[in-house]
Structure formats: structure tokens, C-alpha cells
Amino acid sequence: MAFPITRLRRMRKSEPLRSLVRETHLTPENFVYPLFVCPGTGVRKEVRSMPGVFNLSVDEAVKEVREAHSLGVLSVILFGLPEKKDEIATGAWANDGIVQQAARAIKREVPDAILMGDVCLCEYMSHGHCGIVEAAPQSLGAAVASPPAAATEYEILNDATLELLARTSVSLARAGIDIIAPSDMMDGRVAAIRKGLDEAGLANTPILSYAAKFASGFYGPFREAADSAPQFGDRRSYQMDGANFREAMREIELDLEEGADMIMVKPAMPYLDVIAAARERFDVPLAAYQVSGEYAMIEAAARNNWIDRERVMMESLLSIRRAGASIILTYYAKEAARLLG
């Protein structure tokens, strides 16, 4: 029936009524809290472009996980800042790598925490790219030890990178990482990682694939936090073109065929349509990453008193949940959990 019989405002006149008919709900269990782990002791260095986000030494990371856990945020994802970088990302797969150290320490102190390990090589590569770099065809076979003069002088080698990704995944799982989360966007990485885990006796370790990761301007602050900016060129030759919706569906489908247990869309708010379509099409757990640029914009606007910070923070998270993501990676995990009570 139409107005005046039908009046949708009837169910909006009070908070109890609005709560009664609310369709989408956030809980702390929905959140995954990203942490940046660095060498040292007692280190808590704020990221300039991400107020309230810190590079943390292992002991400080343990404290963060313990606090998040007490608020109901049961999952964290770890990113590492190694002491040294090289052309084969040794710090990513070394037994004593920074994330491996953090995983062992966290599991000792907070054994029930769900630890996700970001599997990408950019933080560990001297050149900042997500895979092995090779010089241009005229000098094929030579690894790039210093930045080439122009973007045409190098190539990111897909197949050669897969072995390092698998090796990193096995190392992380052995250190106590519960969920392997590859974010590199190399073709075939999920199959390579699944094979590596299975052959290492880690068949029960699930994979959360960054299946549709777009080449985005929203990653800028993260690259400061993780010290992972590419030293030359960009990542558009392997991360997705933001114009391609149908290709995103293909990427997701291929990763599931290769053995992914869960999928992720990144960034979140600029790609809510992709999240919604993935939710309709694929019957697997779906994650979305509210990335550093999304966080930084909210923080900057709030500091200028242009927005209500808490309200916009919660509204942004609700929009991601409403689009269909049951898992939300967000730097607001602790704060949102406190507000949800």
C-alpha cells in the first residue's frame, strides 16, 4: 500500500525501534586488526600519515594483540619491517624473520588469537616490488640490483616469484600463523602456496587470498607504514586495473579453483560494488580491507572538524559489512570494538 497507509518512518522514531529492524550488524568478531612489526624492543613509532597507527616491536605487538583480544577482536594480520632487504626477500621466509618472531611471541602470550600472515615480498625486497625483478630483454637473466633508468627496463617475474611465496607461507605457518593471506597478485600463487603447505604437512592451514587487489592510490600511507614503496615504476603490471569489474570476478574464481578458502577485495569503500557482486556469486567467506588511504582521509577530515569522526568511522565500516564482507580488515578495529561495547 502507498502513503498515507504505508509510512516507513514509523520504525525510525526511536533507537529501540531502529535497533529492532536493523538489517546489518557489526561485531568485534568481524574485524581483523593490522599490525606493523619492526625490530627492537619497546618501539612504538607513530606512522606520520596514519595518526594512531604505529610501527611496533615484537613486545609492543604482543601488548596490542592482548588488548584487542580483550575487546573481542580475535584476529590480527601481521606485516613485517625487516632489518635488511635484498633482491630475493630473504626476510620474508627466514626462520627468524620479524613476522615469524612476532607470531611465536604472540602465540605464547595470547594462544587463542587468530594470526593472519600477509604474504607479499614488497616489504622485504630492496626494490619494493612484490616479486623478483629482472632487467629488460637486452640483458635478460640479470637480476636488478639497482633501480633501472626507465620503466621499460625491467619486468616482474611471475613464475620465479611463486617459489618464494610458497616458501614464505610455509615459514609463517610453521611459526604459528593460522591463516596465510597472499597479497602479491602473481598468477598461480594460490596453487603454489597450497602445494607448498600440503607438502610441508600443513594441509589444514587455510588461505585467505587477496583475490581482487586493485592498483590503487589509496595505498599511499601503508607504504610509509611498511616501508614498501617501489623504488622505480609502479605495480600496475600485476595489481588490477580499477576499471575492471568482470576481471575481478575472474580473479576470484581462479583463486578459488586453485584452493583459496577465503577471498578478499582491496580496497574496500571504492570497490563496494565488487564486494557486493562477490558476495552474491561466491559462497565462501568474504573479506574486505579498509586500507590506509581510507583511514587517513577520515582522520584528516576529523582533525579539521569537517566530520564527526566516530560516526563516519562506524558508518564506513557498516557500509563494507552491508555490501557483503563478513571479515573487515581495519585500523579502527579496537576503537570500533569499544564503541560496539
Contact 58, 100 (CB under 8 A): no
Question: 296 to each of 216, 230, 267, 329, how far by Cα in Å?
Answer: 14, 20, 13, 15
Cell digits of residue 292 = 590506509
Looking up cell 583480544 gives 69
Nearest to 80 by CA among 287, 288, 234, 228: 228
The active-site residue, picked from 85, 107, 266, 334, is: 266
Measured CA to CA, the distance from residue 87 to residue 246 in angstroms comes to 34
Measured CA to CA, the distance from residue 89 to residue 182 in angstroms comes to 15
Q: Rounded to 5 degrees, what are φ and ψ at 243?
A: -85, -10
Contact 281, 288 (CB under 8 A): no
The active-site residue, picked from 85, 107, 213, 334, is: 213
Q: Is 13 a catalytic residue?
A: no
Burial class (CB in 10 A: 0-12, 13-18, 19+), 285: middle
Measured CA to CA, the distance from residue 281 to residue 253 in angstroms comes to 10
Measured CA to CA, the distance from residue 147 to residue 232 in angstroms comes to 6
Residues marked as catalytic: 213, 266
